[in-house]
Chains A and B, each alone.
Chain A
Amino acid sequence: MKPMKNLHEFLISPGEAARQHGPKDCIVMSSRVRLARNLRNAAFPTWAKKLERVRVLDAILPAVRDLPEMVDSFAEPMDTLSPLDRQILVERHLISREHAAKSTGSGLVLNRAETFSVMINEEDHLRMQALRPGFQIREVWQAIDRLDSALEQKLPYAFDSELGYLTACPTNLGTGIRVSAMLHLPGLVLAEQITPIISSVNKLGLAVRGLYGEGTEALGNVFQVSNQMTLGETESAIVERLEKVLAQIIEHEENARQTMLEKRPKVLFNCLGRAYGNLAYSHIISSKETMNQLSLLRLGVDMGLFPGAERALVDELFLVTQPAHLQKLLSDKLTAEERDLARADMLRERLKVLPRPAMG
């Protein structure tokens, strides 16, 4: 089976994606709210048999696709997507790693602007999310709330007046909401303040995860902060609490950057200079090292230490140097070693336009 639409003609180009802006996007890379919903009369996806999953997909996919927000969307069953395409969607944070592993009976509906992504038959029948660049938690909640209200007119949700929206995992029960923000926190990492910050955020009942969600490392100093509890609190209360905590983390990060510049400039310049050198002059570089060094380059650009440099270039490289994007761009089947060579070639070439750092 082939998809009706070509994913790569549909997706926003990495360069264009990197130029999208939002409030406080030097620290908050993106805001997202996800809602988990299930149909009343069907087993949850992980327990359902293939036939039942297909039946659920066939009921949900057209209902989502025909929403006014989803005009001209990319609406496809997962088994029409190649493993490489699925990995590209993971690198874009449009689907979860778990969803990339699904095939028959699962699906995706993605809108043109890539501000709504609805996963069908992930862990729940519906995992719908709204996402936007920068610090826009409240706006994404309002957007997904509207989408959900429109969809409930068409689909019989599993809902209990005591327990709320019923989900496959009891940890998502009630509101089924996960509010999260992806934060770039190199200042707190360099100042060695990240561990106490994470533990105090944890104490507030919020989770801190790595770049690709559950159980992943904080590559490139990127952390995801999200709520954990979903029952016994209203959606707005959860959104407001997260907003407050995020505002505080942003302030701490800004302070950490300023303090580094004032109190330990040599340490800062050393890190940034080495990152620049590694990225602009390497011949072999792994994806992990690239992300960690690009994070420092992004910090330098945001602090004005690379005059004339654009953050969009760094953000684009952040995306296109990841394994699946690189593979797609070079349209060859590359081994990991070959990718490390190709990645270094690309970085040297693209960073030619980056002026040398103006430090000390």
Chain B
Amino acid sequence: MLCSICKERQATLHLTKIEGDKMQKLDLCDECAKANGMDDPSALMGADLTLGLGASLELDPGAKIAELKCSRCGFTQADFKKSGRLGCPECYVTFAQGLAEMLKPMHKGTRHVGKAPAALMAEREAADRLKTLEKKLARAIETEDFETAAAVRDQIKELKGAAPVKGG
């Protein structure tokens, strides 16, 4: 069996990762195993990192990762393999698919349940409220309920006036 990374040398290390009903296989030659920090079988984190962002996607025919690059900062998949760090906050969107797989074994859960910035929460609540009011306004206009429409318009005006200044 050929190595799934270099596709040249004979694979000597065979990793299988089973998660739910999904199975991923990774076959590595000595060199590629070493290059990915997996010559030590106990280095499970190394396996997770490689399986998570790199190899597993290469193995997944549905995902084309050849040159996935962050549009904000120019960071690539290859850069992640080198450093294990991302380039900028936007990278979490760019590499969302690969990261999702990687986060599962790394953390207790994949959804944040802790603290959130108060200002951001207020901003988000205001945005949600604005959306609701705009829908209400559209409905009121549609049904020619102009009395409600005027009231809603005032509410929207008030909300927009009081909206916190967005940080730059």
**Contact mask for chain A residues 108-124; partner B; CB cutoff 8 A; 1 contact, 0 none:** 00000000000000010
Whether B120 and A157, one on each chain, are in contact in the complex, defined by CB atoms closer than 8 angstroms, is yes
Q: Please, which residues of chain A bring their CB within 8 A of the CB of B115?
A: 145, 148, 175, 234-235
CA A42 to CA B114, docked complex, whole Å: 23
Decide yes or no whether B108 CB sits under 8 A from chain A. yes
Partner of B168, one of A145, A148, A156, A230: A156
A44-B85 contact, Cβ under 8 Å, with A157-B117, A159-B116, A232-B113 = yes
Interface-forming stretch among A78-86, A165-173, A260-268, A291-299? A165-173
Whether A164 and B86, one on each chain, are in contact in the complex, defined by CB atoms closer than 8 angstroms, is no
**Contact mask for chain A residues 220-247; partner B; CB cutoff 8 A; 1 contact, 0 none:** 0000000001111111000000000000
Whether B112 and A47, one on each chain, are in contact in the complex, defined by CB atoms closer than 8 angstroms, is no
Whether A174 and B114, one on each chain, are in contact in the complex, defined by CB atoms closer than 8 angstroms, is yes
B163 → chain A, closest Cβ, in Å?
A: 15
Whether B112 and A162, one on each chain, are in contact in the complex, defined by CB atoms closer than 8 angstroms, is yes
Whether A234 and B87, one on each chain, are in contact in the complex, defined by CB atoms closer than 8 angstroms, is no
Give residues of chain B (113-145) contacting chain A, Cβ–Cβ below 8 Å. Answer: 113-120, 124
B101 → chain A, closest Cβ, in Å?
A: 11
CA A47 to CA B94, docked complex, whole Å: 16
Whether A173 and B103, one on each chain, are in contact in the complex, defined by CB atoms closer than 8 angstroms, is yes
Query: Does more than half of chain A's interface fall in helix, strand or loop, or is it mixed?
Result: loop
Decide yes or no whether B64 CB sits under 8 A from chain A. no
A292 → chain B, closest Cβ, in Å?
A: 28
Q: Please, which residues of chain A bring their CB within 8 A of the CB of B79?
A: 47
CA A44 to CA B88, docked complex, whole Å: 5
Whether B73 and A47, one on each chain, are in contact in the complex, defined by CB atoms closer than 8 angstroms, is yes
B89 → chain A, closest Cβ, in Å?
A: 4
Interface residues contributed by chain B, number (CB under 8 Å): 34
Q: Please, which residues of chain B bring their CB within 8 A of the CB of A156?
A: 166-168
Partner of B87, one of A47, A161, A163: A47
B125 → chain A, closest Cβ, in Å?
A: 12
Decide yes or no whether B78 CB sits under 8 A from chain A. no
Chain B residue at minimal CB-CB distance from A39 = B89
CA A199 to CA B94, docked complex, whole Å: 37
**Contact mask for chain B residues 70-107; partner A; CB cutoff 8 A; 1 contact, 0 none:** 00110100010001111111001000000100110011
**Contact mask for chain A residues 38-55; partner B; CB cutoff 8 A; 1 contact, 0 none:** 101111101100000000
Whether B116 and A232, one on each chain, are in contact in the complex, defined by CB atoms closer than 8 angstroms, is no
Partner of A233, one of B83, B85, B102, B114: B114
Interface residues of A (CB under 8 A from B): 38, 40-44, 46-47, 123, 145, 148-149, 152-153, 155-166, 168-171, 173-175, 177, 205, 229-235
21 contacts between A and B (CB under 8 A): A41-B168, A43-B73, A43-B87, A44-B86, A44-B89, A46-B83, A149-B118, A156-B167, A158-B89, A163-B92, A163-B111, A163-B112, A164-B114, A170-B106, A173-B103, A173-B112, A229-B106, A230-B107, A231-B111, A233-B114, A235-B115
